[in-house]
Amino acid sequence: MKRILRKRYMAKTNLSESLKRLGEIVAWFDNQDEVDVEKGLEKVREGAVLIKQSRTRLAEVENEFQELKKEMEETETDED
């Protein structure tokens, strides 16, 4: 059980960090009068990687919740 909680905490931290960094990238674009094409492309690439990683992690978290829900339902059935 502690392992599951630790994994959840780590996921939350990683997703939070990714969202924070994505916000920083958006702010960078918002604060540019003229965007340097090369720097802009670098930021877009970084953002794309963060989004892909976040989607993957969100899918993993969703699966973990589904597994926990199933375990809880099985426990309730066993108790009845």
Span 2-79 CATH architecture: Orthogonal Bundle (1.10)
Identify the residue whose tokens are 């959840």. Answer: 8
Question: Domain residues of the chain, as ranges?
Answer: 2-79
pTM exceeds 0.75, yes or no: no
pLDDT of amino acid 15: 87
Q: What are phi and psi of 36, to 5 degrees?
A: -70, 125
Judged on CB neighbours under 10 Å (0-12, 13-18, 19+), 57 is middle
* Segment 11-17 mean pLDDT: 74
Instruction: Write out pLDDT tens, residues 22-80.
Output: 999 999 999 999 989 999 999 999 999 999 999 998 998 899 999 999 999 988 877 76
CA 79 remoteness from chain centre: 35
pLDDT of amino acid 8: 54
